[in-house]
Amino acid sequence: MNKNWVLTQDAFDALLGWLDPNRDIAGQKYEDIRRRLVKIFSCRGCAEPEDLADETINRVTTKLATIESGFVGNPSRYFYGVANKVHLEYRRRKPSPEIQPPAAYDESIEKEFECLERCMQKLTLENRKLVVEYYQDERQAKIDHRKRLAGQLGIAINALRIRAFRIRASLQECVRNCVHEGAV
């Protein structure tokens, strides 16, 4: 899939329209499909079930124009078929190396933390608040909190994920640059 592809409101509306003409029912079907995808990937032992569920939904959305006219049956079955392919791709990836816990005290961790604090201060107040709130809580509480946060911002949950990812990526780059500048 094109890594630069972003789920637009029009694409999301088209997806909901494909799921059901009634927008409320379509929204419920979307949530049910996403929840089931997360559960499928979790049960298969995937480390990032939510990300894989989003990847599956994004792939279906990109193919919607070609499959919509000729597809017959329950659209959720198409999602589950795509999920199987996404899972196979996930299994083929190299496993990420296990990260060893740091030694008793490491000055580099302290430097990274200082850089993170500096980089957080460079963010706008809105982005700082969003990234802090996005990464709080665990398990179901985290999911529920993210849904409320998306509702407060008036955006779809997928748009919230993308926004948080971009903020986190800019923070990582800032911290990397800060640490590198301190090491030179």
Q: What pLDDT does 184 receive?
A: 43
CA 13, 50, 138, 179 torsion: positive or negative?
Answer: negative
101 versus 40: which is more confidently predicted? Answer: 40
The residue assigned the tokens 């990812």 is 165
> According to DSSP H, which parts of the chain are helical?
9-19, 23-43, 49-67, 75-92, 107-122, 125-134, 139-153, 157-183
Q: What does the pLDDT average to over 51-69?
A: 90
- Could you state, in order of their start, the residue ranges of all structural domains in the chain? 9-92, 107-183
Query: Residue 155 pLDDT more than 90?
Result: yes
pLDDT of residue 172 exceeding 90, the answer is yes
In degrees rounded to 5, what are phi and psi of residue 4?
-85, -5
Residue 136's pLDDT is what? 87
Question: Which amino acid, 72?
Answer: V
Q: Could you tell me which residues come within 8 angstroms of residue 164 by beta carbon, excluding any fewer than 6 positions away?
A: 130, 131, 134, 135
pLDDT value at residue 93:
82
Instruction: Among 91-100, 120-129, 174-183, name the one with the lowest average pLDDT.
Output: 91-100
Say if CB 157 and CB 147 are below 8 A apart: yes
The Cα–Cα gap between 55 and 64 comes to 14
- Do 133 and 159 form a contact (C-beta atoms < 8 A)? no
110 or 82: whose pLDDT is higher?
82
Give the span between the Cα atoms of 51 and 38, in whole angstroms: 8
- Which pLDDT tens digit goes with each residue over 9-22? 888 899 999 999 99
pLDDT tens digit sequence for 67-107: 888 888 889 999 999 999 999 999 888 666 566 665 666 67
Is pLDDT larger for residue 7 or for residue 145? 145
